[in-house]
Structure 1
Amino acid sequence: MDEILFDEKNTRLQIEAESWEAAVEIGGELLVEQGCVEDSYINGMLQKVNKHRMDVVIADGIAIPHTRYEDGAFRVGVSLVTLKTPLSFAESEEKVKVVLCFSAMNIQDYWHMVSFALDLIEYDVLDQLAEAKTLEEVRSVMALC
């Protein structure tokens, strides 16, 4: 997993979110706090989930909320939110337990983030990632990929 590191600034583990919107807002706020996006980007992510759920929930267990950089991105960023209780996004049948929000500045950044998310699925580490309770456990899971 080249160049994508999780730390205390971009990670929240075992969150009890009331709704998928709350989960996206938590991930979005982490992007805002890192200086990657402005607040409007969060609204863009919420709208994209409502309109294009299939682009966001890419497999059972994982969602990758994002929107266009024109919606308020300043630089590339990523946040990881794991959910204590899996949630359905926008009435989907899939239950999401890993929310990987990101901002991209161009198509290469976008595909890098999507590839990263697909690697989590391919290496079959979503359950381990969702169950992680510490950053050290997250890093151990990432080392498997």
Structure 2
Amino acid sequence: MKQELFNESNIQLNLAPEPKSAAILRAGELLRKNGYVQNEYLEGMAKREESLTTYVGNGVAIPHGLPDYIPYILKSGLVFLQYPEGVDFGEGNTAYLLIGIAGKDDEHLELLSTIALVCQDEENVTRLKQAASKEEVLEILAGGDV
């Protein structure tokens, strides 16, 4: 995966449990802090979750903004948040991994499909849930050529 899309500064491990809205905001803040999005994109991420859950199954959620908020994306990127105790996404769904994405043009579709391939493999998800270092996360996601 390209260094500018995803690197160690985009990874947070061993986060304490928090409400879904706070976890999504945390992902958005990390995207903003690392120069991928403007502040308004965070509102788009919250609104996206209100209209349709970003929980995709297998203990993974992929928060991202509504299409109306694409103008607030400065460049494509993704962030990775690991919650060992999980985040309640409602309806009995618990996300242990949040992968926040911001895709400029159609790059987000490519990002989503790559992430989906890595995360559909339960072994990869288990390894990501248990990853003790940022290097390990990069290595696992690079295995999917993210």
Partners of 1:121 and 1:7 in 2: CA distance:
18
Q: CA, structure 1 residues 7+105, in 2 after alignment: closer, same or farther (shift >3 Å)? A: closer
Deviations 1:31-75 (A, max 9, x none): 11111111121121011111111xx11113111111146422111
Unmatched segments (≥5 aa) in structure 2: none
Amino acid at match of 2:74: F
SS of alignment partner, residue 15 of structure 1: coil
2:40 maps to 1:44 = no
State the aligned residue count. Answer: 140
Of the three residues 52, 58, 67, the one matched with 1:60 is: 58
SS of alignment partner, residue 87 of structure 2: strand
Partners of 1:78 and 1:14 in 2: CA distance:
18
Partners of 1:21 and 1:8 in 2: CA distance:
24
Q: Normalising by the residue count of structure 1, what TM-score does the alignment of the two structures yield?
A: 0.85
Deviations 1:98-123 (A, max 9, x none): 100011122x3121121122112233
Q: How far off is 1:84 after superposition?
A: 2.2
Give yes or no for contact 2:37–2:73 (8 Å, CA) kept in 1: yes
Which residue does the alignment assign to 2:126? 127
109-118 or 2-11, which deviates more:
2-11
% identical aligned pairs: 22
Which residue does the alignment assign to 1:104? 103
Partners of 2:66 and 2:103 in 1: CA distance:
8
Partners of 2:91 and 2:38 in 1: CA distance:
28
Which residue does the alignment assign to 2:74? 74
Task: Give the RMSD, CA atoms, in angstroms.
Answer: 1.9
Q: Would you identify which runs of 4 or more consecutive aligned residues in structure 1 move more than 6 Å?
A: none
